[in-house]
A and B are shown apart, each in its own frame.
Chain A
Amino acid sequence: MKMLVVFEKFPRIRHIGHLDLMRAMQRALRRSGLPVKFSQGFNPHLLLTFAAPLSVGMAGKREIMEVPLGSDVTEAEFLEKINAALPPELPCLSARIVDDKHPASMASLYAAAYEIAIDSEAEALRNAIPSFLAQESIIALRKTKSGEKMVDIRPMIFELKASGDNTIRCTLALSEAATCKPDLLMDALCAHAGLAARPRTIITRLQMYGKDLIPLEML
């Protein structure tokens, strides 16, 4: 069996990178005494998959991982044991037993919602949103391993609005086929608003979705 787990990464530890976070989870699972599965081979490690890595610097409200288990555990027992083994900044919020054949969250991923807290120029950015979205295409410069690439991010923006005086909320494509990172959106929005430099932001991933924007953990 497999446990589909929703967890939170607090802002205080947002600078922890994905690999470090994964190791922290693996160690928590070891501490928990849960019947975890190990990989074969010379350096056995714990099998564990994440729906999507969270960038360094980002907090996450409802992150998702899958934990294959060697024997049966109830959802309540899993949550109790794993939370006892996790630091307060990294709690698990819910757990759901799924079949081993349940498609990997990673493969079902389609989009994610973010909240972007803005340090300065929030008003200018808020005001720029309607005309920004009215554009037919928004060409942004994406840095890739092989250099820079022009992409049209307009079709990847599903939602973009001010959610408070200093916060913006957006839902952006996040899948193997198409991904728009919130940083890329912010760069384009700042350019559109005529800002010379990008204000400092703290980004939180709020939720991940599958097709038709169904919350990923409910698929």
Chain B
Amino acid sequence: MKEFSESKLEILLDTALKPARYTGGEMNAVIKPFDQADVSFAFCFPDSYEVGMSHLGIKILYHIINKQPWALCERVYMPWPDMADALRRENLSLFSIESRTPIRKFDILGFTLQYEMCYTNILEVLDLSDIPLHSCDRTQDDPIVMAGGPCAYNPEPLAPFIDVFQIGDGEEMMLDAIDCVRKCKAEGKSRLDTLRALAGIEGIYVPAFYEAAYHEDGTLKSFTPIDQAASPIVRKRIVKDLDKADYPDSFIVPYTEAIQDRSVLEIMRGCTKGCRFCQAGMLYRPVRERSLETLLKQADQLVNSTGYEEISLSSLSSGDYSQLTELCCELTQRYADKKVSLSLPSMRLDSVVKQSLEELQKVRKAGLTLAPEAGTQRLRDVINKGVTEDDLVRAVTDAFQSGWSTVKLYFMIGLPTETDEDLAGIGHVAKTVMNCYFTVPKGMRARGLRVTASASTFVPKPFTPFQWQPQDTLPQIREKQAKLKDILYAIKGVNFNWHDPELSMLEACFARGDRRMADVLEAAWKNGCRMDGWTEFFNYEGWTKAFADCNVDPAFYANRQRGEDELLPWDFIDAGVTRAFLWREWQRAQRAEVTPDCRKGCQGCGLQRFEGVCRK
């Protein structure tokens, strides 16, 4: 058994890279006596402190749990590899930031799953905490291991390692879950009975209560409950009214600079645009806005409690927020004295409001981020990105006239139906943006034009109309990247970024993987893979060996065309959007037929089945 000793830890901290990742003591961290809580929750963002501290979802849930007098929530992150190795060498257990309690001592260990490439870190954190990797090996003394977040919508590759998944909005479900654990603990219930009680909560999935069977060709044959407590369909949780949902009145302010070191207002949840590649757009439906009044109150609280110099607005498409202009004007005016600036993240092309841009520039000029995603109108129609070249020209010209000079353009390669013409179109878009800059008279535009084009590799995701489609193979992706390099390097003044195709391939395997991917994950971790999202630690050999050792072909998950009738590993989850709607959307995509924003008319995606949520 691993031990924990504060003095030994202090010695490790002296030689650690960035010890401030582990020291805690930040402003607004919640300190409660560990032993006095009825239920204790260790919240883990399975990546570095800097990344994890930037995440809004954890801030919300940390606040909600700690607001309960009977509960306690502390944080834990994936230690940087130097520290992970040092802990192992000294046989010290991983510990929580706030009270430095070994993770094993908590009643619950919860992971947030934001991206697939942190899965090895989950195994690393469990191992560093001396918690058995497999759910079936855990005892009454081990924490209940929970996970939630967008990747929980296909929980299967993590099924053996996680006791309980939370699917959907966390605010209410989290409280139901911890309250259930608290009651079971008080009643002295066994681990199994506690899991059964949890399985009865809407939105909760206990993988041990289901069994998967496969056809000879490897596809899924059946997926069935094997415990009475488990229901055949797990329906996602939805918070109906965001104004009533709890929101933190303070954020923990780290000493070291986190990636997102600012106050964040979640102005709305969900998106009605219906981009066909976008998983978040489907998962977070329906659209729910926070009222101006609530947001201004929350902004006041955050500005006063954090001292942050900057506020940013968070949502999938802030430009669609119905009172965006009012909100931006009010926020900029309100905090001008306090020198708090406002920044808008990735605005949608079609909704850049000139007025609010001008209002914004009084304070600060962050780079303009635009995501045309595809290079031609045809392909933009296929993916239902309702943006035209005219929209783009108008948006960047406005921005250039208002003093912006840095533009980032996001594209995807490998989208279904993509041809060489679409790749050439990316070059065309970049050139158009540059031309727009030069049409603005010299005196009216800011100097130093910088255009960056980023091309990520398309990863088909569950619960999107492209969930049946193959990802491009590695050689295909490399060839497209090379072509794109030739095209973009030929345009003077454009920077070009691209992603590791190997990483995107692994992402695809996990995004649409089944329980057999869990073996690959464990093998890869045993081969030393961890922190896969960090280029310096990404160990592709470890992964190829893991696939080979487990006799699993990555192409089966990444590059295979799935049939209309194939049972998909995540079909037992009701994410709101129906399979029929997704298939219909795929049919339309093939015809490059756009589906309008459903604010202008319901498209019958399935959310109308959820009472009181979709008003139409």
In B245-263, which residues have CB < 8 Å from any A CB? 253, 255-257
Asked if B339 contacts A44 (CB within 8 A), the reply is: yes
Asked if B27 contacts A28 (CB within 8 A), the reply is: yes
Asked if B24 contacts A12 (CB within 8 A), the reply is: yes
Between-chain CB contacts (< 8 Å), 7 pairs: A13-B20, A13-B25, A13-B255, A15-B20, A85-B27, A90-B25, A202-B10
Of B121-129, B300-308, B415-423, B486-494, the stretch lying at the interface with chain A is B300-308
- The list of the 6 closest CB pairs from A to B, nearest first, reads A27-B307, A30-B307, A15-B19, A89-B25, A31-B307, A20-B255
With an 8 A cutoff between CB atoms, is A166 at the interface? no
Contacts A13-B255, A16-B20, A31-B306; A24 near B27 (Cβ below 8 A):
yes
Q: A202–B7 Cα gap in the complex (Å)?
A: 12
Contacts A12-B23, A89-B25; A29 near B14 (Cβ below 8 A):
no
Q: Which residues of A contact B308 (CB under 8 A)?
A: 27, 30
In angstroms, how far is the closest chain A Cβ from the Cβ of B263? 11
The residue of chain B having its C-beta at the shortest distance from the C-beta of A26 within the complex is: B307
Asked if A27 contacts B253 (CB within 8 A), the reply is: yes
Asked if A20 contacts B11 (CB within 8 A), the reply is: no
Asked if B304 contacts A87 (CB within 8 A), the reply is: no
Chain B interface (Cβ < 8 Å from any Cβ of A): 10-11, 13-14, 19-20, 23-29, 31, 253, 255-257, 304-309, 338-339
Q: A30–B310 Cα gap in the complex (Å)?
A: 12
- Chain B interface helix/strand/loop/mixed: loop
Asked if A31 contacts B256 (CB within 8 A), the reply is: no
Asked if B26 contacts A87 (CB within 8 A), the reply is: yes
Query: How many chain A residues touch the partner (CB < 8 A)?
Result: 30
Q: A27–B24 Cα gap in the complex (Å)?
A: 17
In A7-37, which residues have CB < 8 Å from any B CB? 10, 12-13, 15-17, 20-21, 23-24, 26-31, 33
Asked if B20 contacts A24 (CB within 8 A), the reply is: no
Chain A interface (Cβ < 8 Å from any Cβ of B): 10, 12-13, 15-17, 20-21, 23-24, 26-31, 33, 38, 44-45, 57, 85-90, 119, 200, 202
Q: Which residues of B contact A45 (CB under 8 A)?
A: 309
B23's partner among A13, A27, A31, A38 (CB-CB below 8 A) is: A13
Q: A13–B19 Cα gap in the complex (Å)?
A: 9
Asked if A86 contacts B27 (CB within 8 A), the reply is: yes
Q: A33–B300 Cα gap in the complex (Å)?
A: 12
B11's partner among A12, A21, A44, A200 (CB-CB below 8 A) is: A200
Question: Of residues B26, B27, B306, B338, which shows the largest number of chain A Cβ atoms within 10 Å of its Cβ?
Answer: B27
Contacts A15-B13, A15-B19; A87 near B27 (Cβ below 8 A):
yes
B339's partner among A21, A31, A38 (CB-CB below 8 A) is: A38
Question: Of residues B23, B256, B307, which shows the largest number of chain A Cβ atoms within 10 Å of its Cβ?
Answer: B307
Q: A214–B10 Cα gap in the complex (Å)?
A: 34
Q: Which residues of A contact B306 (CB under 8 A)?
A: 27, 31
In angstroms, how far is the closest chain B Cβ from the Cβ of A93? 17
Q: A112–B305 Cα gap in the complex (Å)?
A: 34
In angstroms, how far is the closest chain A Cβ from the Cβ of B48? 16
Q: Which residues of B contact A26 (CB under 8 A)?
A: 307
Q: A8–B305 Cα gap in the complex (Å)?
A: 21
In angstroms, how far is the closest chain A Cβ from the Cβ of B272? 37
